[in-house]
């Protein structure tokens, strides 16, 4: 039987996990959310049949900050499902995995569409101004424009680096030229060396969850 969890309890669990930096022991290790036919949102630790997951509780114990420089906000992560249709469309059009886009958004902005970094990266996928212009983005804080541009950029990076996902992610973080100057290896930058495995870890979690 599905056990619904109050929103306040979910936020508390997430906050405790964030502060403690330790995994939360729950059945299945994940929190799922869905809206029923009456429009009521439910939170549960059992995968709802036929409904999309939103966020893994494993993600909610992420420590540190997003690439934008902001702390992870459990409320934003809990509302991540609002972007599911957008992410799925962008992923399909760019021929990239939707779970990969979600993982990148978790790491880049923590689903904060208004995020802006100290280097000027903006929005959900933290587009740099030159990247936004390159892909015709007029408002980088518009989730639709931002995610579609980020998905197309990721596709282009995968093509450029022979579908090597680690190198494509490194290029997304540090720039294409940095990867090439490093001999087509992950550049020896502390931020990039942390970024790539972090995205890949969340990608694996989301890929497993979406397959349940």
Catalytic positions: 108
Residue 110, CA atoms < 13 Å, CB-side half-sphere: 24
- What DSSP element (H or E) covers 44? strand 41-44
- H/E element holding 13? helix 7-20
Cα distances from 192 to residues 80, 107, 173, 198, 199, in angstroms, run 25, 12, 6, 10, 11
211 burial via Cβ count (<10 Å: 0-12, 13-18, 19+): exposed
Q: Count Cβ atoms below 10 Å from residue 76 Cβ, excluding itself.
A: 19
């Amino acid at each position: 039987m599905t056990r619904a969890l109050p929103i306040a309890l979910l936020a508390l669990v997430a906050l405790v996990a964030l502060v403690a930096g330790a995994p939360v022991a729950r059945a299945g290790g994940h929190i799922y959310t869905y809206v029923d036919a009456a429009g009521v949102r439910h939170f549960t630790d059992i995968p709802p049949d036929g409904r999309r997951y939103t966020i893994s509780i494993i993600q909610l114990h992420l420590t540190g900050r997003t690439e934008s420089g902001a702390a992870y906000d459990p409320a934003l992560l809990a509302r991540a499902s609002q972007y599911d249709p957008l992410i799925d469309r962008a992923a399909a059009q760019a021929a990239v995995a939707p779970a990969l886009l979600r993982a990148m958004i978790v790491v880049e902005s923590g689903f904060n569409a208004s995020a802006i970094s100290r280097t000027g990266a903006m929005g959900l996928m933290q587009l740099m101004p030159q990247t936004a212009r390159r892909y015709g983005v007029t408002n980088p804080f518009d989730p639709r424009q931002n995610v579609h541009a980020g998905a197309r950029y990721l596709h282009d990076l995968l093509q450029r680096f022979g579908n090597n996902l680690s190198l494509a992610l490194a290029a997304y973080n540090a720039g294409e030229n940095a990867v090439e100057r490093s001999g087509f290896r992950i550049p020896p930058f502390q931020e990039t060396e942390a970024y790539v495995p972090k995205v890949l870890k969340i990608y694996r979690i989301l890929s497993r969850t979406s397959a349940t």
